[in-house]
Amino acid sequence: MPFEYRGDIAHSDVAFNAWSNTLEGLFKEAAQATMKVMVEDLTAIQPAEKVQIKLDETNEEMLLFDFLNELIFYKDAKRLLLLPAQLTITRGGEGCSLEATLQGEEIDASKHKLDTDVKAVTMLRYSVTQVKEGWRATVVLDV
């Protein structure tokens, strides 16, 4: 299982662990875990609209923070439920950057089984670490 919700490290909020062999894979899993808090069945989101994003950050940890916050931003600002279709991360001496194509569609309560709104990514127990098998993240979302 590439992500797992955890009831033991947060009560009012929603916590999850995500992991993958690659950093790109980790970002995709974390995106799924975040969006699944709001929409019960992610396969119900049709790729009707595309959004390109580019983010620059000092490290992988803050890059994932910004990336998840972008998904939350589009949900409120444009009422778009988005997931990454394509995602590239470049790491260099100055920091790291992400280019992604997000795909999805406008919220439709009759079609998307809506769950609980995500307000923000918190810094509580937040971590993105390189491990023997690849990459691992712990995220607590404020809902």
Partner 1 sequence: MNLPAALKKISDTIWELPVSYKEGMLVPARIFATEKLIQEMDAGVFEQVSNVATLPGIQRYAYCMPDGHWGYGFPIGGVAAMDPGTGVISPGGIGFDINCGMRLVLTNLTADQVKPKLHQLVDRLFARIPTGVGCHGFVKLSESEFGSVVAQGSRWCLKNGFATQDDLDMTEEGGCFSGADPSSISEKAIERGFNQLGTLGSGNHYCEIQVALPENIWDAERAAAFGLTTPNQVVIMFHCGSRGFGHQVATDYLKLFLSVMERKYGIKLVDRELACAPFHSPEGQAYFSAMKCAVNMAFANRQVILHRIREVFSDVFQSSPDDLGMRMVYDVAHNTAKLEKHAANGHKKEFLIHRKGSTRALGPGAYGLPECYSNTGQPVIIGGSMETGSYLLAGMQSGADAFFTTAHGSGRTMSRHQAKKSFRGDKLQRDMLSRGIYVRTDSFGGLAEEAGDAYKNIDEVVEATELAGLSKRVARLIPIGNIKG
Interface with partner 1 (CB under 8 A): 5-8, 10-15, 38-40, 62, 65, 69, 72-73, 75-77, 79, 81, 107, 109, 113-117, 119-124, 126, 140, 142-143
Compute the least distance from the CB of residue 32 to partner 1, in Å: 16
The residue to which tokens 């439920």 are assigned: 81
Compute the least distance from the CB of residue 64 to partner 1, in Å: 13
Cβ distance to partner 1 smaller for residue 56 or 86: 56
Structure tokens at 21: 């062999």
Cβ distance to partner 1 smaller for residue 12 or 132: 12
Compute the least distance from the CB of residue 41 to partner 1, in Å: 11
Per DSSP, the residues of 34-84 read: HHHHHBS-GGG----EEEEEEEEESSHHHHHHHHHHHHHHHHHHT-EEEEE
Residue 23's alpha-carbon distances to 94, 136, 141, in angstroms, are 17, 9, 20
